[in-house]
Amino acid sequence: MKINWLRNLVLVAAFQCIFLQTTFAQLSLNEDDVQFIRDLCAANSLYGEAPGSIGYQKWNYFTGRLEKLIVSNYDLENIPETIENLTALHYLDLSYNKITFLPVNFYKLTNLDTLILNNNAVKSLDDEITAFSGLQFLSLSGNRLTALPKKFVYLNSLSYLDLSANGLQRLPADTLFCIPGFGSDIKFFNRLGKLKYLNLAGNIIKEIKEEDLDGLPLTELYLDNNRSLYKLPNSTGSLSRLETLSLTYDSLLSLPGTLGGLKKLNLLNLEKNYLKTLPEGLFSLKTSLKTLILADNNFEVLPGGITSLKGLKSLNVSKNALKTLPINMWQMDSLESFNASVNKISSLPDDIGLMPQLKMLDLSSNSLSLLPSAFGSFPSIESVFLYGNSLTSIPGSIGNLHTLKEIYLNDNPLETLPETFGQIGTQLRVIALQNCELTRLPQNYGNLKGIVVQNLENNKLVELPESFCNLPEIRVLSLKNNKLARLPENFGKMRLVNITLSYNELTDLPESFSGLDSLANLTLDNNKFTSMPLVLTKLKNPVATINISDNFLKTIPDTMKSLKVVNLEVTNNYLYCEDDGMQNPDEIPLFLLHPNPFPVAVTGLFHQHCQTPNDMIKKGAYALYEPYPNPFNPSTTLHFSIPKEGYVEIGLYDVTGRKVEDILKGLMTKGYHKLSWGRKYLPSGTYFVMMRCGSFTQAQKIMILK
C-alpha cells in the first residue's frame, strides 16, 4: 500500500484513542510506536508519515481508524488510490486544491457525512456518488460543474448543499434530470427531503420554474449573482419554512406577489437588481420579516406599505434614486438600523426622532442642507452617518443624543458646531469632521472625554479651545491643512500617540509638548518653523517618526543631539545664516547625518545633499537649486531664489540643447520660491532645467525615470 502522498501533508485526525490504547499489545508495537500513537491521540493531529517501524500492515490498521482528514490548499491534482483504505472517514476536506475528477475508489468512503470539495476544478460527478447515502454536508462551490448526475437525488440525507460559483445554467428539475422510472413529473431537488441550506449563487441560471424547489424543507436559499435571472416564478411552491432568501446581483425587474406566502421569512436581500416597486403581498409579512435589503436598485419612491412591516429591525435602501421617504417612515417602532445613503434626499420630516429602537442611521451622500430640530430626539441612537451632504449647520438639539458613540459629519460645508455639541456625553468615541469649513470648535468641546480618534483635516481652524486639551482618551489626532498658528498651552497633557499637524502656520510648539510620553509619530511638515522646536529634545521616550520637512529651518542646533527619534525627516528646508555670509552644510553636527542608533533623513536640505556637503549656500543670491527628488517619477520640486523682484524664465531642454517646453515665465517677487513640476508624456532620460533672470543663468541636470 502506497502512503507517500501523505508526506508533508497536515492531517487532522479524530482517533478512537481508547480503542487504540487497548490494542497496542495485539499490534506488537514497540515502546516508541506506542508513544507515537499516544502523542497523535493527545494532539488530535498527524504530521507526515508514520514511523517506519510500525510497518505497512500495522499502518493500514492504524489509518483504518482515521475519522477526520483535512488536506486543504495543498495544490493536490489527483486523489491517490490509497484513499480507499480510509474507510472510517466521516469528515473529508479537500478544498483549495487542483482536483479535476473523483476516482472510482473515492466512492468507497461510504461513511462520509461531510465532504468539502470547494475551490477545485471538478467538471463532473459520477452516479457512483449515491454511495455517500449518509452524506449530510456537501460543498462543491468554486468548481466547473455544468450539470449534476441523475442519481444525485439519492443523497437524501443532505441538509447542506453548496453549488455556488459553478457553471449551472438551470436547476436540475429540468426533464433531463428526471428520476428514471418516475416519469417527467417527479423532479430532482424535491426528493432531497432533509435539505435546509441550498446555495446556487454565482451560476448562470436564467429561469426558476414553480416546481423546481417544490417540496424542499429549505430554511436558507441563495440565488445571488445569476446575472441572467430576471424573474421569479409566480408561485413560491411549498417553501413555507424559508427564513433567508438572498437574490443579490441578479437582474430582477419585479417580484411575485406570492412572496407574502413565505410566512417565516426573516431576511430578504434584493441588493443590486433593477427593481422599482415592491409587491403588496410582501407587506403581509408584518412580524416575521426582520431584515430587508433593497440597496442599489432603481427605486424613486418607496411604497408606503413598507411601514406596515412592524417587525422590521434593519432596512437598507441605499444607492437608489429616492428624493423623499414615506410619511410614516419614522414611526417604525422596531427599526434598529436604517441606511438610506447615496440617494437624493433633500429634506427630513419633523417627526424624524420618533424611532425608539433606532441605533444606526445612515443618510450620507444625499442632498441634505438642513436637519430638523427633532433630530436630537432619538433615544437609543449610537451611530450617525451624515457625511457627503450640504449641511452648513447642525441643530442644537444634537446635544441631547446621550447614547451616541460615533458621528460622521465630514465632507459638509459646516462652518460651526453648536455650543451644545459638547453636551453629547463621554460615550462618544469617534467624531469625523474632516473636509468641512470649520473655523472654530465649541468652547466645551473638552467635555467629550470619550473621543479616541479625531479627524479635523482640511478645515479652516485658526485655534483650538483650551478645553480641547481635556480629552483624556484621544490617541489619534489629525489637524492637517488648517490655519493654526499656535497650539493650546496644555496640548501636551493629552495621551496622544499619532499627531498630524502638516500644512498649518505653526512656528513653535508649547512647552507642555514634552509631556507626550506616548507619542509615536509626529508630522510637522509644511508649517513655518524657522528653527527646530527644542521642546522635542525633552521628550522622555523615543519617537518612531518626526517629520519637519518643507519648513524654513535655518539651522540645526547641537542641542538636537539629545532628540530620541528613530526616523527624523528634515528634508527640503532652507538652511542659511541669519547674518550675511555663508553656511557650509559640512558644519551640520555629524550625529544628525549619521546618528547611532537613530537614522535621520536629511537629504535635500535646500537640496544640498549631505553626502557631498561641499556646496555653499549664500544668502541673498540668485540660485537655481538641484530639483528634489532627482531622478524622479512622475514629478519633482524645483527651487530657486532671487535677491530682488525680477522676470524669471525656467525652461526644459533635452541633451541636444533643444527646448522642450517652458516651465515658468513671469514676474517673481524677491526671495525663495518652489514649484512642483512633472510630465507623464515625456520619455525617460536626461534633461536640463535652465533658469534665466536678467543676466543670471544657471542649469540643473535632471533624470526622468519610467
The 10s digit of each residue's pLDDT in 81-110 is: 777 778 888 999 999 999 999 998 899 999
Q: Do both 690 and 601 map to the same domain? A: no
Q: Which residues of 377-408 are buried (b: 16+ CB within 10 A; e: fewer)?
A: bbeebbbbbbbbbebeebbebbbbbeebbbbb
Confidence of residue 264 (pLDDT cuts 50, 70, 90): very high
Q: Do both 600 and 655 map to the same domain? A: no
Residue 232's nearest CA partner among 192, 191, 197, 282 is 282
Distance CA 197, CA 24 (A): 43
The x, y and z cell numbers of residue 612, run together, are: 557631498
Q: Do both 532 and 567 map to the same domain? A: yes
Q: Do both 540 and 607 map to the same domain? A: yes
**Residue 37 in domain:** yes
**Residue 252 in domain:** no
Task: From 576, 600, 615, give the residue that closes a domain.
Answer: 615
Phi first, then psi: give them for residue 659, nearest 5 degrees: -75, 125
How many CB atoms lie under 10 A from the CB of residue 530?
15
Distance CA 543, CA 541 (A): 6
In whole angstroms, how far apart are CA 373 and each of 263, 350, 361?
A: 39, 7, 16
Distance CA 109, CA 86 (A): 7
Contacts of 299 (CB under 8 A, 6+ apart): 275, 276, 277, 317, 320, 321, 322
Task: Summarize the confidence of residues 133-158 as an average pLDDT.
Answer: 92
- Give tens-digit pLDDT for 645-700: 999 999 998 877 888 999 999 999 988 888 888 887 788 888 889 999 998 888 88
Q: Are 564 and 538 in contact (CB under 8 A)?
A: no
Total structural domains within the chain? 3
Given the C-alpha cell 507526515, which residue does it identify?
A: 48
212 against 152, higher pLDDT: 152
Q: What spatial distance separates the first Cα and last Cα of the chain, rounded to whole Å? A: 59
**Residue 307 in domain:** no
Q: Do both 611 and 661 map to the same domain? A: no
Distance CA 31, CA 231 (A): 68
- The one-character DSSP state at 632 is B
Which residues span the domain enclosing 671? 620-704
Q: Are 129 and 112 in contact (CB under 8 A)?
A: no
Helix locations, 391-444, DSSP H:
none
Distance CA 113, CA 131 (A): 11
Confidence of residue 32 (pLDDT cuts 50, 70, 90): low
Confidence of residue 38 (pLDDT cuts 50, 70, 90): very low
Q: Exposed, middle or buried: residue 438 (CB in 10 Å: 0-12, 13-18, 19+)?
A: buried
Task: From 574, 595, 615, give the residue that closes a domain.
Answer: 615
**Residue 656 in domain:** yes
Residue 544: which CATH number?
3.80.10.10
The x, y and z cell numbers of residue 313, run together, are: 429591525
How much of the chain, in percent, has pLDDT values that exceed 70? 79
Task: From 44, 66, 88, give the residue that closes a domain.
Answer: 66
Residue 73's nearest CA partner among 101, 94, 45, 100 is 94
Q: Do both 602 and 532 map to the same domain? A: yes
Q: Do both 566 and 639 map to the same domain? A: no
**Residue 589 in domain:** yes
Q: Are 606 and 638 in contact (CB under 8 A)?
A: no
Q: Do both 632 and 611 map to the same domain? A: no
Poorest-confidence range of 56-60, 168-172, 290-294, 625-629? Answer: 56-60
Q: Do both 628 and 668 map to the same domain? A: yes
Residue 523's nearest CA partner among 573, 553, 479 is 479
Residue 412, helix vs strand vs coil: coil
Q: Do both 530 and 598 map to the same domain? A: yes
Confidence of residue 11 (pLDDT cuts 50, 70, 90): very low
Q: Do both 641 and 610 map to the same domain? A: no
Beta strands in 404-511 (DSSP E): 406-408, 430-432, 453-455, 476-478, 498-500
Q: Do both 610 and 633 map to the same domain? A: no
**Residue 246 in domain:** no
**Residue 521 in domain:** yes
**Residue 164 in domain:** no
- Give tens-digit pLDDT for 574-627: 554 333 333 344 434 333 333 333 334 443 333 333 333 333 344 457 888 888
Phi first, then psi: give them for residue 36, nearest 5 degrees: -60, -45
How many CB atoms lie under 10 A from the CB of residue 460?
13
Given the C-alpha cell 441643530, which residue does it identify?
A: 395
